[in-house]
Amino acid sequence: MAEIKKRWYVVRAVSGKEKKVKEYLELEISRHKLDDFVSQVLIPTEKVFQIRNGKKISKEKSYLPGYVLIEAALVGEVPHVIKGVPNVIGFLGAEKGGEPVPMRLAEVNRILGKVDELLETEEEMKIPFVVGEPVKVIDGPFNNFSGVIDEINEDKKKLKVMVKIFGRKNLLELSYMQVEKEI
């Protein structure tokens, strides 16, 4: 049997239903015995950290909501099986009724590289704050107090926040995880 040439395609899914689409796709692929034609189904995700009840928790969040990547050889019934999965809208780049357009290798490498990079730099966080920005304390003894960022220490991931307590300004040192942007 000749080598089956697989390419990466983007499947449009109903936003928020990417995990279900991935499960259904994998189920349908094995049910129709199409494992030779489809090698991977991938949801590009990133780790997001939040504080809940004083504990730092990580949560996976899709960084391309509404899209599922699939490595497949779209031959025979494969595209029809994929399009027939619940919550699948169709292929990205396909003209109505036209052929699905595969992703360029550079795009695939960039997205897959980003996925790997996000897994490796799990603890690394972007500095989402700016000096002078209003923030609200969401954790610790000063919970629900509002203040303004006075100083940012990127190495320690700490902020110095000027907070008014009983009418007097006080400088608090808080971690990034203890504050959120005031809306």
CA distances 174 to 121, 137, 147, Å, are 22, 8, 11
Alpha-carbon gap, residue 121 to 124, rounded angstroms: 5
Which residue has better confidence, 11 or 63?
11
Distance, in Å, from the CA atom of 14 to the CA atom of 124, rounded to the nearest integer, reads 30
| pTM of the predicted structure, to 2 decimals | 0.61
Which of 120, 148, 170 is the endpoint of a domain? Answer: 120
Q: Would you say 9 and 74 are in contact if contact means Cβ atoms under 8 Å apart? A: yes
Residue 47 located in a structural domain: yes
Are residues 94 and 15 part of one domain?
A: yes
Residue 120 pLDDT grade (very low, low, confident, very high; cuts 50, 70, 90)? low
Instruction: Give tens-digit pLDDT for 15-61.
Output: 889 999 999 999 999 999 999 999 999 988 877 777 676 677 777 88
**Residue 145 maps to which CATH number?**
2.30.30.30
Q: Which of 44-48, 121-125, 153-157 has the lowest mean pLDDT?
A: 121-125
